[in-house]
Structure 1
Amino acid sequence: MASGAPLYATVETFSPEGEPFQVGIRWKAWIESFEDYLAVLEVKDSQRKLQYLRYHMGVKTKQICKIFPNYTSLNTYEAMVSALNQHFVPKVNKFYERFKFSNCKPRHDEKIDSWVTRLKQAATLCEFPELEERIIETILLLTPDRKFRDKLLEEDPLTLDKLMEMARLRGISKSQTDSNETKEFMSKGQERKGRLPAYVQRNRSGESTPRHKPRARDQRYPSAQGCRRCGRENHRARDTDKCPAMGKQCNNCKKWNHFAQACTNKRNQRSSNVVYKTEDTQESDYDSDRDWVLSII
């Protein structure tokens, strides 16, 4: 070790385990840290660098090196690093990586710092000549805030630091506006809670009286929720075991399995001077057509 080198300088042993793609990324980061480590120790001789590399690469990485066809000829630091790079760093399709980068959209309510960090990580294997410009272009294309995009386009020159500063200020302003709108909406909701329905009005004494009482539906006729065979609402037409009209003949169209009050055939109905009325019968008498008396006014 060179004299005067700091004693606390160290580097962790590299682990080659894991997914190949992730191992390649970790190897590139590790060898970069190792180069800094050698610079701190002021180690410049190639053989000394190789010794440090063999020591810190770890047992598992040494075993990988021994299976290299040209292992015996890897007697310099540069040759060893080159062989390890070819083994750990997979061949990358930079156009595919750039495609993924260009589709790195912002997540819901994501801060600008988080988005820029993800863009930088996605650009690791893209080999962009000007990374900052590509990040700015991507943000301009993918930001969902059109007004913010227009403001950015007015800036000349536009740097990444300037863009992030403007995004932070807009985020604070937007959050304050959203908070005020939420409070206003909640206050209006409280006001609406105290209001009476549209068909109720207050008289002079302050008492509330219904202006128009809601009309009850005529239970004699079938509804969209009831049985279209008999008109009742406690079952559906497909519940044939519950429907009293099953096996009965309609007095209107003479067809079977439905009552006249539920009949959709208007062949025998004469005109508006024909009306239907019911006699006072028990609920059990509702099951047949005999309860209906045809009267002509």
Structure 2
Amino acid sequence: MATRSAPTARRQRIGAELRRLRERAGMTAAESARALGTTQAQISNIEANRFGVSAERVRTLAHMYDCTDQRLVDALADMAAERTRGWWEEYRDSLPPRLLDLAEMEHHAVSLRVAQVINIPGLLQTPEHARALFREVVPALRQHEIEYRVSHRIKRQAVLHGDRRVPYTALVHEAALRMQFGGREVAKAQLEHLVRAGEEPNVTIRVIPFDGTSFPTSGHGVDYAHGPVPALDTVQLDTTHGIEVVDAGGQLEKYRLVLDRMESVTLGPEASRELVHRLVHDM
């Protein structure tokens, strides 16, 4: 069994879920090892994803832990069996690993739901808008680093327009629509792009207006990716110090509620589109 170097967040999730199943079954790593006929170190390495784990081993461990959620077991086994390298791997030596994890999360999501208060969601940005944002990163990025990030961000958008067309809901505050990153022309082109994106059948854009009621948020972007089963949902938070990944059950429930409450104060899709049209007209 080969040691796995720098596993992605998705592959680390397999080990984390196996650990949760073991703990839920009330078994220690040592007890699990004895039942499986292996060493405690191997169980720990599987759970930490230092070793790869086969789909068959995933099913064996889940059975041993009396897991009755067959959909969860099947989903974990499918994740373990997957060996295809995604397009994002070409950026592995050029971008922070968390950006690659974000692309991988979006690629495998059953549906996506995001919320942004200050910025246009990344999957809805034009190259010029994205480039303007990356020019403001602190510490400053070099030009080739900016171009790598712009290229990566635009390629991520294939989940909306490619063969799969993942269902996507974006909750965007009016403040984000009025920001003019890159200047008036770039901002106007971005809003026009937003209108066109909202016409796609799998894309829903809902605006939180300035005159709306209060809602829970820290101002950070929230990307909620629905997995094949709710237990495999993932949240990525876009904070000032980088991307944070959230996948514990209680945290997932919290962010589902946060997004529900944010959506409850949005305009409907048609009214949102009309608001964006007015902003374009006023520029």
Structure with more relative contact order (C-alpha pairs < 8 Å, separation 6 or more)? 2
Q: In which range does the TM-score fall when normalised by the shorter chain? A: under 0.3
Whose helix proportion is higher, 1 or 2? 2
Task: Choose between structure 1 and 2: higher strand proportion.
Answer: 2
**TM-score of the superposed pair, with normalisation by structure 2:** 0.23
